Amino acid sequence: MLFNMMKKDVQKNKMLTIILFTFIMLSAFLASSGTNIIVELTNSMNALFTKSNAPHFVQMHAGEVNEVELTNFANNNPFVKEEQIVELLQIDGTNIYFNGSNRLGNNSLMDHYFVVQNRSFDLLLNLESEVIDLSKGEIAVPLYFKQQENLELGDTITISNQGFQLDVTIVDFVRDVQMNPSIVHSKRFVVHHEDLNLLKANLGESEYAIEFLLTDLKDLDAFRNDYQSASLPAKGPAIDYHLFKVLNGITDGIVAVVIFLVSIFIIMIAVLCIRYVLLATMEEDFKEIGVLKALGISLLDIKKMYGMKYIVLSAFASIVGYVASLFFHRLFTKNMMLYIGTAPKSFSLQIVPLISVMIVFLLIMCFCMLTLRKFNHITAVNALRSGTVREAGRRQNILALHNRLPFNIHFHLACKDVLSRFNTYCLLFVVFIICTFLIIVPVNFLHTIQSPNFIQYMGVEKSDIRIDLQQSDHIAQDFNHLMEKIEQDEDVDKFSPSVTSQFKVINNEGNEENFVIETGDFTVFPLEYLHGHAPKGENEIALSYLNSKELEKNVGDELTIIIDNREKTMIVRGVYQDVTNGGRTAKAALPFNNNTALWYEISLNVKHHINISEKVEEYSKTLHAAKVTDLQNYLVQTFGNTIEQLKLFILFTIIITILLTILITTLFLKMLIAKDGTRIAMMRSIGFSSKNMKVQYMTKTLIVLSMGIVGGTVISNTIGQGLVSVLLSFMGASKMKFVIDPVQAYVIVPLLFMIVVSTVAFVSVSSIKKLTIVTMNS
């Protein structure tokens, strides 16, 4: 009997059933996809780290190393399992040609390191996640350049310098557990050891990665303190296992979390729709429900009759959503599969997405059961006496006709109906808010990350041009030469040099640890600080957000650093945001010390009439030792991969949101017109034409849409901005401010919604012409 009732109900309300099915299916699809990405990311990353035997602690060093000293330290340290010194031959981008073309030049932010395969750990893998093994004349290229330069297997790379030339053939692409992400400005090319020796003899400068594998990862902090207090080579950043994981997972991790958040919003819409449909059905069948109660049919059986359809519908839609997520899995994990690879999943991991779908199903069922509790308040006497449910929240005196607004009568009646029956329109209002939120937040975030203002979240001062000098034997001379050129350049409006050096800081436990501090005058190109201001005096320092949290230091607190073997007390004057270098940086107005310098930077602005691109090109040709970039190019090279991922996600979100808007508007108007059938027929009998009534219902829909767009925009720029800040706080940016494109946010998005909703409303109200007193009576 229940099956026959469900079948007849589906045949009677085909459109309604399709819309509800679509909402529930999308909820399950996105929940499964988001969970699947997280599971795949975690599993694949663990496999990558296992196959490559990722190092637990790496100390970069520019300068000579004493291998005997390091070997003795490793042998005598109880935490060390293995140790190796990896030579990195850094070659300038101007010396590297892809298929005969040099597109890197001095504008590339990346350090190009040429290495050989490692012995036992920190192994460099190919696209099959196998250890790379090369012959003479072959090369394996970082995946970053495969994407940026559209390289393929068999392509040729030429390394040349003043009469020397080496041609090598690409036979593999590198999955590098340390340097995979674009946010890491270093990339390793793998060559044969004979080719590396040939390159060393003709060009490039050697740096070293001093790597350690520990017996137990839990001892990482203790080992770090041992290394940093042993006066061993440390002229470069120190990176550990945990940071490698964060950097490898951050892009796909954020996409997974955002997809999951979108699925939560769609679940909310699905729940609201089912509630609305159930209440409308209850009102339509109010007298029949009373008859059923009068005949003695139990409340539980009545609930089963009305709820069984939604249980079956939700179960079927959830299954379809789950199966669809398996087919679309590769679309969402395409980037991850390239950079990290895939790994076999255990049965327990394979059922995690299925469990998430089951949770979606149970959530919808719970809200369905809560809505069915309304049957508890229906009595046989009231149902048979009145025949209808009293419409709650209706206020008859709002905008009475004798107080008519100075507008068209149809607009006045539409406003009156929306305000007096706002509970009825609340579903549409909430859905329009959610849909606006789902489009505006990703669009605003994309515009923010592409904006030059995003540079402030990287701890970098906003300027026209940025020049970087990496560590070398003659870095001090190169820096002085560069400063002389800039000082004599009349096109330069203002500039500010800075030096990043290695210091030691006394942490909360009283131990010394290495601390990277950028020194210079930070008032020329000031950052936007979360708290406080730029350091000015020699005893003042500013900390990045994550450093401030880890050291438990706020503005006004004291911090002890060691300079020239003497302790110096610094006052924290500011806290800023920085998503680079693991989010752990600092700035101080200390004098330059070339002996401890890791790298040099110069920020400069040119005069208004000077073309920035031409100036970048000019400096790139004359300053071969430097990396010269404008800020837009700096952002593209650092976050280009993330931006492409975000664009794909935004396109997907817009399609889903437009589909949701079409479905919910169709559902709502269909049910509203059915509910108001008698009222529409009466108004037509007193002189209102079907065209007049169509205008009124379209106007009501657009009024609610306008309110939803305003509400959604406000929430996007407040709560949405806060949600993005929470996600980015793990990288070092805790207070994101959207850079809003007013044309996109306030013109294109509302116009898109207006066009879609107007079109759907125009089609949906066509049934009004069939509603007359005659048809209603018949």
pLDDT, tens only, 567-610 = 899 999 999 988 776 678 899 988 877 777 788 899 999 998 88
pLDDT digit string, tens, across residues 159-171: 988 888 999 999 9
- Give the pair of three-digit tokens for residue 606: 């040119």
Which two tokens mark 661? Answer: 């808007």
Average pLDDT, the chain: 83
Which alpha helices (DSSP H) does 299-379 contain, by range? 299-327, 329-339, 347-350, 352-372
pLDDT score at 118:
92
pLDDT the model gives residue 401: 52
This prediction's pTM = 0.77
Residue 395, pLDDT > 60, answer no
Percent of the chain, pLDDT > 90? 22
Between 328 and 301, name the one with better pLDDT.
328
- Check residue 161 and give its pLDDT: 85
Q: Are 81 and 201 in contact (CB under 8 A)?
A: no
pLDDT at residue 388, rounded to an integer: 52
Asked if pLDDT for residue 480 goes beyond 60, the answer is: yes
Q: Which band of pLDDT confidence, cut at 50, 70 and 90, is reported for residue 58? A: very high
In this predicted structure, the answer to whether residue 182 has a pLDDT above a threshold of 70 is yes
Tell me the one-letter amino acid at 630.
D
Secondary structure of residue 341 in the 3-state scheme: coil
435 vs 735, higher pLDDT: 435
pLDDT for 306 equals 72
Query: Cα–Cα distance between 224 and 57 in angstroms, integer?
Result: 8
Predicted confidence at residue 381, as pLDDT, reads 61
Say whether 65 sits in a helix, a strand or coil.
coil
Contact (Cβ atoms closer than 8 angstroms) between residue 735 and residue 527: no
Among the ranges given (129-138, 401-410, 467-476, 656-665), the one the predictor scored with the smallest mean pLDDT: 401-410
Across the strands, what pairs with 560? 569
For residue 64, pLDDT beyond 70: yes
Extents of the domains making up the chain: 1-53+248-390, 63-235, 399-456+637-778, 473-624
The strand order across the sheet containing 238-240 reads 96-98, 156-161, 164-174, 138-142, 186-191, 111-115, 80-90, 205-214, 57-61, 238-240
Is it the case that residue 735 has pLDDT exceeding 60?
yes
At 277, the amino acid letter reads: V
Distance of alpha carbon 12 from alpha carbon 411, whole angstroms: 33
pLDDT tens, position by position, 9-25 = 666 667 777 878 888 88
Per-residue pLDDT band at 550 (split at 50, 70, 90): confident
Per-residue pLDDT band for 512 (boundaries 50, 70, 90) equals confident
Longest dimension (CA), the chain: 102
For the CA atoms of 357, 362, 365, 369, the dihedral, rounded to the nearest 10 degrees, stands at: -170
